[in-house]
Amino acid sequence: MQNPLIHVVQHLAPGGLEVMALELARAQAGQRPTLVLSLEGDAETAIAAWPRLAQHRDQLLFLGKRPGLDAALLPRLVALFRRLRPWAVHTHHVGPLLYAGPAARLAGVKRRLHTEHDAWHLNDAKRRAVVMLALRLARPVLVADAPHVAEAVQAAIGLLPKVVLNGVDTARFTPGDQAAARAALGLPPGRAILGVAARLEPVKGVDLAIAAMAHLPGDALLAVAGNGSQAAALRDQAQALGVADRVRFLGLVQDMAGFYRALDGYCLPSRNEGLPLALLEAQASGLGVVAARVGGVPAACDPHSARLVASEDPAALAQGMQSLLANRGGDPRGFVLAHASLAAAAGAYLTLAEEAA
């Protein structure tokens, strides 16, 4: 494939950044040939762990980066870019910026973009210095995916990024047949069901959502979509709190549009977030949301239907859940259509790339 737009990520495993890169490549493919380049891993291992990747197989490249600093990776990237002659190279997060940003410039790629999807890592002085060096070497158009990320980047390194909000596919994520969606997931009819979709890691706060269920009256269920290192501990927690019969662990769900359709509301209890795609997907599916007020969460929420609560407070989260189930008003889908569509994000990045030439 000659002259593609190449999105570069550190690895391809389930996560918001990785989903955003895949979705941007898919949305932009109608106007430019696109590829997603993973510095780490290989195709077969990645697809086995994340079957969703199979539908993108023809767009994926893997470089099998060695652990730690890989000095051989830069010349490999330069050679790859000289062979493919990319129309643009778009890096996502620090590792891709450090390797693929300078490689793109050395290979003569004129259109270089870099998106910061969060800014917490810039609190570390060494990481800050690495980012600043990489930006000087690569000289990309610097973008943030949310206003709060742009402000934090400016405070940390003195550069103000352009802002392109994350977007979701509003043709895929739509309201639908709740009964059929529940049947497909083995969830019961006739019960109020709240959902959370996340990597089962501490930063995502799924333990807080489980703790909130102990404060939530009635027989509402919590459906948890995702895998991670905390899976066993979260099951034990639910058992210890006496809510194991009200928490359903679904594992890695492939049909996320169906997952949202099965729900009555969506919960995001994260301890830290950029601009979370799951919130946008849930709202595009017509769901009201309750979420911890962290990072870019407020910018991702319909102000008329979302319930924002303090972080690390299961009781407040439970109150938000109860309020959400009692009153499901507002127009969350309308909010996403107006502010956070995938088409708008994909087009904005293409415009920035054109302007960078």
Question: Token pair for residue 188?
Answer: 């019961």
Are 339 and 170 contacting, i.e. CB atoms less than 8 angstroms apart? no
Cα separation, 183 vs 257, whole angstroms = 14
Q: How far from 269 is each of 2, 279, 299, 308, 326, CA to CA, in Å?
A: 43, 11, 16, 10, 19
Which CATH number describes the domain made up of 178-339? 3.40.50.2000
Task: Indicate if 178-339 has the same CATH topology as 5-167+341-356.
Answer: yes
Structure letter (DSSP) for residue 341: B
Domain boundaries, given as residue ranges, for the chain? 5-167+341-356, 178-339
Cα separation, 226 vs 278, whole angstroms = 12
Question: Token pair for residue 226?
Answer: 């995702």
Main-chain dihedrals φ then ψ at residue 356, nearest 5 degrees: -80, -15
Handedness of CA 262, 193, 233, 274 (dihedral sign): positive
Given this model, what pLDDT does residue 328 score?
80
Given this model, what pLDDT does residue 14 score?
86
Q: What is 5-167+341-356's CATH topology?
A: Rossmann fold (3.40.50)
Residue 204, amino acid: K
Main-chain dihedrals φ then ψ at residue 163, nearest 5 degrees: -115, 125
Cα separation, 170 vs 167, whole angstroms = 9
Given this model, what pLDDT does residue 275 score?
83
DSSP characters for 213-259? Answer: HTT--SS-EEEEE---TTHHHHHHHHHHTT-GGGEEEEES-S-HHHH
Report residues of the chain scoring pLDDT below 70: none
